[in-house]
Structure 1
Amino acid sequence: MRHTSLLLAATLGAALVAGTAQARDYSEIRLGVDLPYEPFMYRQADGELTGFEIELGEAVCAYLEATCTWVEQDWDGIIPGLLARNYDAIMSSMSINEERAQQVLFSDPYYTTPSVWVTALDREIDIDDRASLEGLVVGVQRATLQDNYVTELYGDVVEVRRYTGGSEVVTDMRAGRLD
């Protein structure tokens, strides 16, 4: 299961730990996001951001009487971007794990999403039969829990291809470049 948490005030918390906290006006909260992940966050035809996490972030900002500013960041740089203070929090379906918890502060989880294996409709792949996986190509988004999972448990039998974003995985899956 994947527990997703808002990293609200993580930058402030990191600054306090480092002893470098300075007064800051939080009437604007900058939220780091990795697009697109429908239905959680994506751009509408008119360019406006929308989706579950965008709406949730806007609700948090409204509650805090602040304005949300959305900062786009590729996933593999999302924690470094927070630590560099490019934004105040991450609102981008980040799963809580021990490694990340050593770097940033998490809120309580706001939803849990299971990970899934996806293949073409005309394929049958049994992930429990390691021998049948030999030579298959599996796509994952780089620096995710799924990347770690596939690499650790199946990296010796499948070719793992890492992508910057989830949409690239979908594109290669649809094009038949992934099993």
Structure 2
Amino acid sequence: MPSIKTMILAATALAAMSGLAQAQQSDADKTWTEVRIGTEGAYPPFNFLDASGKLSGFDVDIAQALCDQMKVTCTFVAQDWDGIIPALQNERFDAIIASMSITPEREKQVLFTNKYYNTAGAMAVPKDSPLTDVSDASLKGKTIGAQGSTTHAQAAETFYPDADVKIYPTAEEYKLDVANGRLDAVMDDIVVLSQWLESPDGACCKLLGTMKPDEAIYGKGAGIALRQGNEKLKTMFNEAIVAIRANGVYKTVQDKYFKFDVYGK
């Protein structure tokens, strides 16, 4: 006969599975008039808090454009990156639009739409760095910073096994450390690094190079993450992405932040 503790654990697991199944069922049947969007708010220029404390950036403006196209009301929720997928699964919001790369590992946890942009990973170093390329041999014994739970952190650990990889909760923290001489290099999206390097805060550093486009790590671009089983909302978002690409709204939003097409091939 199983112990009381075993029976309690089994009942808890069953309740969790039942709750997830009910959420998936309600998502599938729901008529969407309002969509709650989760984003980080600490990853400029894609998502950040402006001077008034309002969520802003490319992710936020694209989300609003998609909601307008779908004729639904958008509300935005700021969420720390490390807890963003659990918060989606616990129904704090309905979709993540936060520059989340579509990777095989994440596809086990969430349902992704098609990409809404796709840019390369890159590395930046201090301006006086002796490093001349992004090879594993060059970075041997060096200290590399990256934001935790990102494809860039995974790439750092995969591409540079002989380097010391330091993980940070936010991009702002690794930027401070490399500016203050505590890191030899940092890795992130090329757009994030390029815009930082053009700002006064990024005057310390320069772009060293881009990463090889390894789809097993970097995925298929940034997509919108939904709860598993929410095929209805996925279809709505996918159709809206196609529509705003065709009607020029995507380009209008893109041109506000970038000088090139971030959608990619």
Q: Is residue 105 of structure 1 aligned with residue 111 of structure 2? A: yes
Q: Is residue 32 of structure 1 aligned with residue 35 of structure 2? A: no
Distance 1:59 1:129, change over 3 A: closer
Query: Within 2, Cα distance between the matches of 1:129 and 1:153?
Result: 7
Distance 1:120 1:29, change over 3 A: same
Letter matched to residue 97 of structure 2: M
From 127, 141, 145, give the equivalent of 2:134.
Answer: 127
Measured after TM superposition, the shift of residue 127 of structure 1 is: 2.6
Query: Within 1, Cα distance between the matches of 2:172 and 2:112?
Result: 26
Letter matched to residue 127 of structure 1: V
Q: Is residue 69 of structure 1 aligned with residue 69 of structure 2? A: no
From 160, 164, 171, give the equivalent of 2:169.
Answer: 164
SS at match of 2:51: coil
Look up the match of 1:91: 97
Deviations 1:61-108 (A, max 9, x none): 222232222111222221111111111000000111111112111111
Q: Is residue 18 of structure 1 aligned with residue 13 of structure 2? A: no
Letter matched to residue 158 of structure 1: A
Query: Within 2, Cα distance between the matches of 1:34 and 1:102?
Result: 21
Query: Within 2, Cα distance between the matches of 1:169 and 1:122?
Result: 18
Letter matched to residue 63 of structure 2: G
SS at match of 1:119: strand
Instruction: Check whether the contact 2:41–2:56 (CA below 8 A) recurs between aligned residues.
Output: no
Deviations 1:18-68 (A, max 9, x none): 354236563321111112222212222122222111111111122223222
Measured after TM superposition, the shift of residue 129 of structure 1 is: 5.2
SS at match of 1:107: strand
Look up the match of 1:54: 60
Query: Within 2, Cα distance between the matches of 1:68 and 1:117?
Result: 34
Q: Normalising to structure 2: TM-score of the pair?
A: 0.56
From 98, 115, 119, give the equivalent of 2:121.
Answer: 115
What RMSD in Å do the two structures reach over aligned CA positions? 2.2
Q: Is there any run of 5+ residues in structure 1 with no aligned partner, and where?
A: 1-14
Give the count of matched residue pairs: 163
Query: Within 2, Cα distance between the matches of 1:114 and 1:129?
Result: 18
Q: Which has the larger radius of gyration?
A: 2
* Structure with the larger helix share: 2
Distance 1:129 1:50, change over 3 A: closer
Query: Within 2, Cα distance between the matches of 1:129 and 1:79?
Result: 31
Q: Equivalent pairs: percent with the same residue?
A: 38
